[in-house]
Amino acid sequence: MPGSIRASGWGEAMARTIETVAEEIRSPSPGAMLRRRIFGHYGLVFGIAVLTIIVLIALFAPLLTSHDPYTQDLMARMKPPFWMAGHDPDHLLGTDHLGRDYLARLLYGARISLAIGAVAALISGLIGTAMGVAAGYFGGKVDLVVTFLINVRLAMPVVLVALAVVAILGGSLEVVIVVLGLLLWDRFAVVMRSSVMQVRDLEYVNAAKAIGCSVPRIVLSEIMPNVLNNLIVVATLEMAHAILLEAALSFLGLGVQPPTPSWGLMISEGKQMMLFEPWLIAIPGVALFILVLAINLLGDGLRDVTAPENRG
Amino acid sequence: MKTRLLVGSVAAVLAFSGSNALADKANDTLNVAFTKELESVDSYFNSAREGVIFQRSVWDGLLYLNQETGEYEGNLATSWQWVDDTTLELKLREGVKFHNGEEFDADDVVYTVNFVAKPENGVVVQRNVNWMKEAVKVDKYTVRIITNGPFPAAFEYLAGPVSIYPNEYYAEAGPAGMALKPVGTGPYQVESVEPGKHFVLKRYEGYHDSPKGAASIGTVDIRTIPDVNTQLAELFSGGLDFIWGVPADQAEKIAAMGRFTVANESTMRIGYLELDAAGRSGDHPITKAKVRQAIAHAIDRQAIVDSLLKGKSKVVHSACFPTQFGCEQDVTTYDYDPEKAKALLAEAGYPDGFSVDFYAYRDRPYAEAMLSYLAKVGIQANLKYLQYSALRDMRFKGETSMSFQTWGSYSVNDASAITSQFFKHGAEDFARDDEVLAWLNAADTSVDPAVRKENYSEALKKIADQAYWVPLFSYNSNYVFTQDAEFTPTPDEVVRFFQVSWKQ
């Protein structure tokens, strides 16, 4: 505007100050800022929404279908899903090779995937965090030992080791969860070690040390809150990783054992009919894709939202 | 339909990208797929079905079993008779030549038998050859085979796995040379061998007047393709003309397409539940006869046959394949009756059922179907699905209380190949019944067919009464081939390439 160009230097400075102050007064609370960042991040919103839906499906599976995922009916095998000719309205997504309702197996299968993802991530999170924090905080010999263990772990191919262990112990839900939990802690340890190293010499940690706080107290209430966001991001990634690995193991016949409904197992069982009944692998495949995508978007979004450079 | 679209597109992709070895009637080549990788084509040094199929085309036995009449006919031998209980004298056919021009005579038989009968030469399937002690030459075209004790099933083996090798060539080349450049007297000679991958057979023009009949198709091109779906895709694109062992569901769909001939034939393989009656794996409910009978009543075998195996499969009740010599059919049968199963369980002291580990190594859908039937009567069976070799080790150590097994009897049409294999207190015997052992010993060593029949019958009746096994069903195989070809499958699961011909 021509007016503003002609405005005097004093007036301009004054206006700017007022604006800044007004801006500061108007500026929302940190909580509101966080909310705005979350809802402004479409990936994160999508991830949360889809994951919530899948969790609800898993929790309320018995209410969503009247069929039992284990009841077989050999006379009604491989009925096609609703969009194909010849489908049975009673079985919305058709039936599998033993005449079990595919929708029921898909819904109940969500429980298996989520349980494996959550528990395996929890186990590996506990192991990896403990090791990473110890290495980062104490440094020195502890760090050497932990770094050595991480290197050992990274030298082992996860899928091969999991296959070997499950082949020896026999596949079951518990075995798969424990094996994955014991194998996926490396990323937790690496990330936690470096994050803790960054904060361990900051003033507030030194202050806590100076007033004589115990080590557990320093770690739990001074360090952990400041590295928690990294932990959450790694946890989501590892959860998705564990779900995919379970599907892979079950696909190879070494994971969850039938008749337990598992998406990987469903893909494996449908594989033989891939040429003629592609929907048998497409349905669980799409479900698996959506779940892993949602978890990854959630983790990615959490990182963006909590990262210091985005805190505004 | 979507299905057809996918099949079509897969076929199209393969047609454009594939190395189509111009397969068909026009250049007289039959393109065939083996599912398993053959470790060695020397038939004494592999134990795979593919090896048997290869063997029957390239080599000949002394005898031949006519599949239609069930009679033994002379192949490399022209007449044969037992001189005493352990000596078989055979007159050999004159004028037969091996593929390399070597003449066939008694020296070849003597060399082959003496080579394979020696355990240190390491023939893979010892039971095929360890009944022979040695062979002795009488004159140029007469030979005697001495057995280790009376062995009534000898003809079955001479017509089956015992094939005659050229003595001069085998002495020089050995199993390793034979595996790379096989030489026999059979209807096909081997043109090239890429171990485990690719084999080319050519019709042997100088084939003798054998009951097998001369080959009709000029070239048989065999490739190893382990995955059924890949085999099907190649079939649709024209890269293959002939495959077998196609699962029932796919075979039905292919038959509906109308582009290929789908033939179904039963096989000698039967499936059964092996129950630990002797308590080798510890003290558990299955040691009680009533519990085993309850298991037999709990499973709807007919429904499994009708919906899953289909084709020419049948429910079997006796612990052998029905056509096998001595396979008594008049045994106790257990109908599908869940109520009776529950009652039997209650009588045995398990009104609420029990929990048990259920081992299996193949056909997971069948195993799963059985789990569901068992669950209905209260038996909580936990599926342990293992590799064949791992499960075999566990069974040898007696660690399994219940496992789903199958046995193909090596296509030997005699109950000794199955019942005696499993009920003579060996590592795989979970019944350990002395009475059954005595009957089987009597049946296996007698040369009188009536005595053998009688004793097998007694043994099989007791096995059924006690439900040591739950015999389930016989298997079948689906053969899918181009409509240009003509072929009739046989129940012994051996594909005889020399009996495949082009339609006129």
Q: Between A85, A98, A274, which is nearest B368 by CB?
A: A98
Q: Is residue B203 part of a domain?
A: no
Using the predicted structure, report yes or no on whether residue A2 has a pLDDT greater than 60. Answer: no
CA angle B127, B128, B134 (to 5 degrees): 100
Same domain, B176 and B279: no
Domain total in chain B: 2
Determine, for residues B247 and A277 on separate chains, whether the beta-carbon distance falls below 8 Å. Answer: no
- We report the CATH number of the domain holding residue B117 as 3.90.76.10
pLDDT recorded at residue A271: 84
Domain end point (choices B165, B180, B195)? B180
Interface test with A, best of B372, B379, B400 (most A CBs within 10 A): B372
Same domain, B176 and B276: no
Which chain A residue's Cα is nearest to B302?
Answer: A74
Q: Is residue B188 part of a domain?
A: no
Does B371 contact chain A (CB < 8 Å)? yes
**N- to C-terminal Cα separation, chain A:** 30
Determine, for residues A271 and B383 on separate chains, whether the beta-carbon distance falls below 8 Å. Answer: no
CA dist B45 and A47 (Å) reads 58
pLDDT recorded at residue B12: 47
Interface test with B, best of A84, A275, A281, A283 (most B CBs within 10 A): A275
pLDDT recorded at residue B366: 92
Q: What is the mean pLDDT of residues B477-488?
A: 92
pLDDT recorded at residue A305: 80
Q: Is residue B215 part of a domain?
A: no
State the average pLDDT for chain A: 85
Q: How far is A91 from chain B (nearest CA, A)?
A: 19
Which chain A residue's Cα is nearest to B369?
Answer: A98
A27-36, B18-27, B278-287, B334-343, range with the lowest pLDDT: B18-27
pLDDT recorded at residue A300: 86
Distances, alpha carbon A124 to alpha carbons A154, A179, A224, A298, B108, in Å: 14, 10, 17, 19, 67
Domain ranges, ordered by start, for chain A = 1-31, 40-310
Quick check: B417 and B131 in contact, CB under 8 A? no
Contact residues on chain B for A67, CB-CB shorter than 8 A: none
State residue B249 phi and psi, 5-degree precision: -65, -45
**What pLDDT digit, counting tens, does each position of B106-157 carry?**
999 999 999 999 988 888 888 888 899 999 999 999 999 999 988 888 898 9
CA atoms within 13 A on the CB side of A231: 20
Using the predicted structure, report yes or no on whether residue A28 has a pLDDT greater than 80. Answer: no
Compare B151 and B340 and report the one with higher pLDDT.
Answer: B340
Q: What stretches of A87-139 show up as alpha helix (H) in DSSP? A: 102-138
Surface of B (7-46) touching A: CB under 8 A? 7, 10
Expressed as residue numbers, the domain containing B449 is 268-476
CA dist A107 and A99 (Å) reads 16
pLDDT recorded at residue A310: 57
Q: Is residue B15 part of a domain?
A: no
Q: Between B3, B365, B372, which is nearest A97 by CB?
A: B365
Q: What is the mean pLDDT of residues B18-26?
A: 55
**What pLDDT digit, counting tens, does each position of B485-498 carry?**
999 998 888 899 99
**What pLDDT digit, counting tens, does each position of B177-202 carry?**
998 999 999 999 999 999 888 999 99
Which chain A residue's Cα is nearest to B303?
Answer: A74
Using the predicted structure, report yes or no on whether residue B160 has a pLDDT greater than 90. Answer: no
- We report the CATH number of the domain holding residue B381 as 3.10.105.10
Q: Is residue B6 part of a domain?
A: no
Distances, alpha carbon B45 to alpha carbons A89, B35, B487, B495, in Å: 55, 18, 28, 19
Beta-bridge partners for B407: B270
pLDDT recorded at residue A134: 92
State the average pLDDT for chain B: 89
Q: What is the mean pLDDT of residues B283-290?
A: 92
Q: Is residue B484 part of a domain?
A: no
Q: How many CB atoms lie within 10 A of CB A43?
A: 16
Q: Which two tokens stand for residue B74?
A: 């002379």
Does B247 contact chain A (CB < 8 Å)? yes
Q: Is the pTM of this model over 0.90?
A: no
Q: Between B7, B307, B367, which is nearest A75 by CB?
A: B307
CA dist A234 and A77 (Å) reads 42
Q: Between B6, B372, B375, which is nearest A275 by CB?
A: B6
Determine, for residues B372 and A273 on separate chains, whether the beta-carbon distance falls below 8 Å. Answer: no
Interface test with A, best of B250, B310, B336, B373 (most A CBs within 10 A): B250
Contact residues on chain A for B247, CB-CB shorter than 8 A: 272
Q: Between A253, A259, A275, which is nearest B229 by CB?
A: A275
Domain end point (choices B130, B147, B180)? B180
A219-223, B89-93, B274-278, range with the lowest pLDDT: A219-223
Assign B77 a pLDDT band (cuts: 50, 70, 90).
very high
Provide the percentage of residues in chain A whose pLDDT is more than 90: 28
Q: What is the mean pLDDT of residues A145-172?
A: 87
Quick check: B320 and B415 in contact, CB under 8 A? yes
Chain A residues with CB under 8 Å of a chain B CB are 70-72, 74-75, 77-78, 84-85, 97-99, 167, 170-171, 253, 257-259, 269, 271-279
Contact residues on chain A for B385, CB-CB shorter than 8 A: 171, 253, 257-258
pLDDT recorded at residue A24: 67
Using the predicted structure, report yes or no on whether residue B13 has a pLDDT greater than 50. Answer: no
CA dist A96 and A274 (Å) reads 13
pLDDT recorded at residue A165: 86
CA dist A263 and A244 (Å) reads 10
**What pLDDT digit, counting tens, does each position of B352-380 carry?**
999 999 999 888 889 989 999 999 999 99
Could you report the predicted ipTM of this complex, rounded to two decimals? 0.72
Determine, for residues B233 and A275 on separate chains, whether the beta-carbon distance falls below 8 Å. Answer: yes
Residue among B122, B212, B226, B139 at smallest CA distance from B174:
B122
Does B394 contact chain A (CB < 8 Å)? no
Assign A6 a pLDDT band (cuts: 50, 70, 90).
low
Domain end point (choices B134, B157, B180)? B180
Contact residues on chain B for A77, CB-CB shorter than 8 A: 307
Q: What is the mean pLDDT of residues B253-265?
A: 91
Number of cross-chain residue pairs from A and B with Cβ atoms under 8 Å apart: 77
Q: What is the mean pLDDT of residues A42-61?
A: 91
Contact residues on chain A for B10, CB-CB shorter than 8 A: 275
**What pLDDT digit, counting tens, does each position of A225-260 carry?**
888 888 888 999 899 989 998 888 888 878 887 788
Does B306 contact chain A (CB < 8 Å)? yes
Q: Is residue B284 part of a domain?
A: yes
pLDDT recorded at residue B461: 95
Q: Is residue B489 part of a domain?
A: no
CA angle B360, B363, B364 (to 5 degrees): 65
Assign A96 a pLDDT band (cuts: 50, 70, 90).
confident
CA dist B62 and B413 (Å) reads 17
The CATH class given to the A40-310 domain equals mainly alpha
Q: How many CB atoms lie within 10 A of CB A14?
A: 12
